[in-house]
Amino acid sequence: MTVTRPYDINAISGSWYSLKPIWQGGEDIVQQGLPHNQLAPTWQVLLLGDGSPTHHLQLLTGEKTEVDVIDMSLIGKHDDGAPDEIEAISEPRLRRQVWLRTESGQRLAYAASWWNASNVDDYLQNRSLPVWRSLSTLHTELYRDVRGIYCGYSPALESAFSEKGPFWGRHYLFWHDRQPLTLIYEVFSPYLQKYLGKISKNPEYY
């Protein structure tokens, strides 16, 4: 069952879990990809592709992907320490944080997203659903514009995933009707090595 914790939509609450990068790449890397000794092709399909991670995770694990919503906070005009593309999201802004997990409870990914607070309810009518499932239900046409990729560490995510880093993550904009709809920052658990192959931990690759 999807769990949604209570949230206060009237005030900024806490922070979000960004990686401390040991390597990062921009749109040029996203377009050309990485050497396979740095990141396996299967991981690159997940990170650099424009398909739905929620759907990909479901296909990999054979289990329905569920969402635990852990934060919905109004951040107003703040940039929130988010990637620069947050400037594309009009104010006032709302930050949403979730865990993506299997139906049986295995956490697979973390995501923070930023929305215009005035219209978020138009697109997330059921806030406990994955973004992809919510927008698919509405038959919303989208373009996933991957802008950056990261390899790095986060003590908070090590604890949450019960997995040691490094972690791979990315950020992207969703576009709808030629307008930016939301900015999303995702980090994937090394647990996915079970399906996608090993993550290199050799620093020379970064």
Please determine, for residue 131, whether its predicted confidence score (pLDDT) is greater than 90.
no
Asked if residues 145 and 174 have their Cβ atoms less than 8 Å apart, the reply is yes
H/E stretch holding 74 reads strand 65-76
Whether 133 has a pLDDT exceeding 70, the answer reads: no
Q: Where are the alpha helices (DSSP H) in the chain?
A: 27-32, 41-48, 53-61, 120-123, 131-137, 155-161, 193-196
Using the predicted structure, report yes or no on whether residue 150 has a pLDDT greater than 90: yes
Assess contact for 80 and 49: CB atoms under 8 A: no
C-beta of residue 110 within 8 angstroms of C-beta of residue 192: no
Contact partners, residue 180, CB within 8 Å, separation at least 6: 85, 88, 89, 173, 174
SS3 label, residue 109: strand
The predicted-structure confidence for 23-47, as pLDDT tens digits, reads as follows: 999 989 988 999 998 899 999 999 9
In the chain, % of residues over pLDDT 90: 55
Around Cβ 181, how many Cβ atoms within 10 Å?
A: 24
Residue 7 has pLDDT above 50, yes or no: no
Position 135 pLDDT exceeds 90: no
Q: Render pLDDT for 60-85 as a digit per residue (tens, 0 to 9).
A: 999 999 889 898 899 999 999 999 99
Helix/strand/coil for 92:
coil
Q: What is the Cα gyration radius of the chain?
A: 16
Phi, psi (deg, nearest 5) at residue 54:
-60, -45
Q: What is the mean pLDDT of the chain?
A: 83
Class of domain 20-197: alpha beta
Say what the pLDDT of residue 204 is: 55
pLDDT at 49: 86
Residue 163 clears pLDDT 90, i.e. is over it: yes
Quickly state the pLDDT bin for 129 (edges 50, 70, 90): low
Q: pLDDT category, 55, cuts 50, 70, 90?
A: confident
The mean per-residue pLDDT over the stretch 85-110 comes to 94
